[in-house]
Amino acid sequence: MGKRVLELCGSGLSLKTLVFFSRAPRDTILIKVAASSIENMKTNTKKIIPVVVHVIYDDQHGGNITNEQIQNALDILNNNINGQADNFLSRTPDIFAAFRGDLNVEFRLAKKDPNGNPTNGITRTSTTQTSFSTNDGVKYSSSGGKDAWNTSKYLNMWVCDLSGGLLGYAQFPGGASSTDGVVVDYAYFGNTGTATFPFSLGRTATHEVGH
C-alpha cells in the first residue's frame, strides 16, 4: 500500500507563525525574503556546497535507497535551484518573475568527511525506528538516526521514513546548529527508484532546501 499523504511540508508551521506575528501581507514577506536572498547570493563564481546525505532505513520496511537515486535527487535540486528545470519559466509566479535566474550554486556530495578522510558523501544507518516525525529524532544517533556532520561545512540531508504523511521538513535559520539541515521521506527523494506518485518529480528536496 502506498503512503498516505496528510501534510506536505512540516516546515509550514514556522512560516505561518512568522506571517501571523507580522503586519505585512504574506506575499510582501515572501518577496522581500526572495529578493534579499538572491541579491546576497549573486556571484560570478560558482559556489560549491558540500552535501552529506544520511540514509536512515529500517530493514523490515525499506528506505535504503541507492547511490544513483541520491545523485538523481541532487541533479534535480541543482537544476531547480539554478533555474534550469524544463518548466522553470512557465511555473514561476509573476510576483517572483523579476528575481528568477541562475544562482550559480551547485550542491555536490562531499568528498571528505569531517576527519578529512575520503567519502562518497553518503552515510547509511540501519535503525529499529519504523518512522520519524518532525521532532528531529532522525538527526541523532541516540534516537535511531544519525548525528549531523559539521553544519557550518556541510548541508546535511536526512532521508528516512517520515510519519504523518509528511514529504519532508526543514529547519529555518536561527535554529540549533546541531540539527541544521533538511529531512526528506525516502519515497519523495528524486524521481527514480523509490520515488512515489504523485510527488515523484523530485522537487521535495528543492522545496525544503528553499526554506
Catalytic positions, written as ranges: 208
Under 8 Å between Cβ of 162 and 183? yes
Cβ–Cβ under 8 Å, residues 77 and 188: no
Instruction: For helices 26-41 and 12-20, give the axis angle rounded to 10 degrees.
Output: 110
The Cα 74–Cα 28 span in angstroms is: 30
Identify the helix (H) or strand (E) that includes residue 37: helix 26-41
